[in-house]
């Protein structure tokens, strides 16, 4: 049965494109591949588009782009979604051009954003290799995808069931922690066939914004520290100080994007081998660090 290969792109609606242009390149270290009337395309590797930013007052997640390995697997996956009663639409030729993919379909998430399933991404010319304006190394992407997203769930159990049973994502583990007296975080983490510890995680929260954070992973640990320094120097609010997650083993910090939701920059995240993986529940989000700051 066809299964999602990786989280290959993410689309964000942002109100301040100018600020994002600077932030994505000089804080995150991405490369602008295109800027036109629709917005900004960002590269993290040989893919022409890993993040796309559209001018939109929503300041939130618009699209999660899931890659299937072959055209046949895409068709089989979509047929299975339809069999489950999910309304799925083919993307128009105009949207396919903007996504820079051959074939794609979309469906709605119960929490207010769009999932797209595609095959056939566009890669840059061989001579046009990825060049980060600021990173010493590169991003960890390729088959593992861009990193992960954490959209909030309006209804936790319904959302977990949608990701697990409808999208067929594999559960990695759970974290249940009381972060403040009376405030329980109950997060579920999901991986795709290629095994990055999680490509999406979700937790129920009463919040107007869908996206809590996206995470990108760098090859060199120093690039986490250097990004932290760049963020502090630029006056960007640090939400969680440097720290370490017990489940995906990522060393990271969290800070605020120009849209108000957060980003996480990490290093050292593990890849799951399902043959030797045991799903377990953790009782803390971080085994050290990640001190939470008050964000204005």
Q: For strands 200-204 and 148-153, give the pairing.
A: parallel
Residues 196-215 that bind Fe ion (CB under 5 A): 215
Q: Which residue is nearest to Fe ion (CB)?
A: 215
Stretch that binds Fe ion, among 31-39, 137-145, 167-175, 260-268 (CB under 5 A): 260-268
Shortest CA distance to 75 belongs to which of 166, 2, 169?
Answer: 2
Cα dist from 241 to 16, 20, 199, whole Å: 25, 22, 22
Interaction of residue 265 with Fe ion, rule CB under 5 A: no
Q: How far is the CB of 149 from Fe ion (least distance, A)?
A: 8
Give the DSSP H or E segment for 190: strand 183-191
Among 60, 116, 223, 264, binds Fe ion (CB under 5 A): 264
Q: How far is the CB of 79 from Fe ion (least distance, A)?
A: 32
Nearer to Fe ion, 167 or 200 (CB): 200
Contact code string over 213-242 relative to Fe ion, x by CB under 5 A: --x---------------------------
Q: How far is the CB of 266 from Fe ion (least distance, A)?
A: 7
Taking the alpha carbons at both ends of the chain, their separation in whole angstroms is 47
CB atoms near residue 122 (< 10 Å): 14
Q: How far is the CB of 246 from Fe ion (least distance, A)?
A: 13
Q: How far is the CB of 12 from Fe ion (least distance, A)?
A: 16
Residues 74-103 that bind Fe ion (CB under 5 A): none
Stretch that binds Fe ion, among 61-69, 138-146, 162-170, 256-264 (CB under 5 A): 256-264
CB atoms near residue 28 (< 10 Å): 25
Stretch that binds Fe ion, among 94-102, 152-160, 184-192, 264-272 (CB under 5 A): 264-272
- Are the CB atoms for 212 and 151 separated by under 8 Å? yes
Q: Please compute, for residue 196, the number of CA atoms within 13 A of its CA located in the half-sphere on the CB side.
A: 27
Query: Can you list the alpha helix ranges (DSSP code H) found in 100-220?
Result: 156-161
Cα dist from 86 to 54, 196, 217, whole Å: 26, 26, 32
Report residue 24 as tokens. 């994505």
Q: How far is the CB of 289 from Fe ion (least distance, A)?
A: 14
Q: How far is the CB of 148 from Fe ion (least distance, A)?
A: 6
Q: How far is the CB of 255 from Fe ion (least distance, A)?
A: 12
Report the C-alpha gap between 281 and 279 in whole angstroms: 7
Contact code string over 109-148 relative to Fe ion, x by CB under 5 A: ----------------------------------------
Report the C-alpha gap between 128 and 107 in whole angstroms: 33
Nearer to Fe ion, 73 or 223 (CB): 223
Interaction of residue 173 with Fe ion, rule CB under 5 A: no
Nearer to Fe ion, 27 or 215 (CB): 215
Distance from the Cα of residue 263 to its chain's centroid: 9
Instruction: Using CB under 5 A, list all residues that contact Fe ion.
Output: 215, 264
């Amino acid at each position: 049965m066809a299964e999602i290969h990786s989280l290959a792109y993410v689309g964000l609606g942002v109100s301040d494109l100018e600020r994002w242009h600077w932030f994505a390149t000089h804080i995150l270290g991405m490369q602008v591949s295109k800027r036109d009337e629709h917005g900004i395309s960002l590269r993290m590797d040989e893919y022409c588009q890993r993040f796309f930013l559209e001018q939109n007052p929503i300041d939130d997640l618009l699209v999660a782009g899931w890659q299937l390995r072959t055209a046949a697997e895409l068709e089989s996956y979509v047929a299975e979604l339809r069999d489950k009663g999910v309304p799925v639409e083919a993307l128009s030729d105009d949207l396919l051009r903007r996504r820079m993919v051959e074939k794609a379909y979309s469906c709605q998430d119960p929490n207010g954003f769009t999932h797209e399933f595609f095959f056939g991404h566009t890669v840059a010319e061989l001579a046009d290799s990825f060049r980060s304006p600021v990173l010493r190394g590169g991003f960890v992407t390729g088959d593992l995808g861009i990193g992960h997203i954490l959209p909030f769930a309006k209804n936790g159990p319904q959302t977990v069931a949608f990701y697990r049973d409808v999208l067929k994502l594999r559960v990695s583990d759970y974290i249940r922690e009381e972060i403040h007296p009376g405030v329980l975080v109950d997060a579920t983490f999901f991986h795709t066939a290629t095994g990055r510890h999680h490509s999406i995680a979700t937790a129920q929260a009463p919040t107007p914004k869908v996206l809590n954070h996206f995470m990108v992973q760098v090859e060199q640990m120093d690039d986490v520290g250097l990004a932290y320094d760049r963020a502090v120097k630029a006056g960007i609010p640090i939400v969680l100080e440097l720290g370490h997650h017990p489940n995906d083993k990522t060393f990271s910090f969290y800070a605020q994007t120009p849209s108000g939701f957060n980003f996480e920059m990490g290093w050292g995240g593990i890849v799951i081998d399902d043959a030797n993986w045991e799903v377990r529940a953790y009782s803390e989000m971080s085994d050290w660090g990640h001190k939470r700051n008050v964000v204005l």
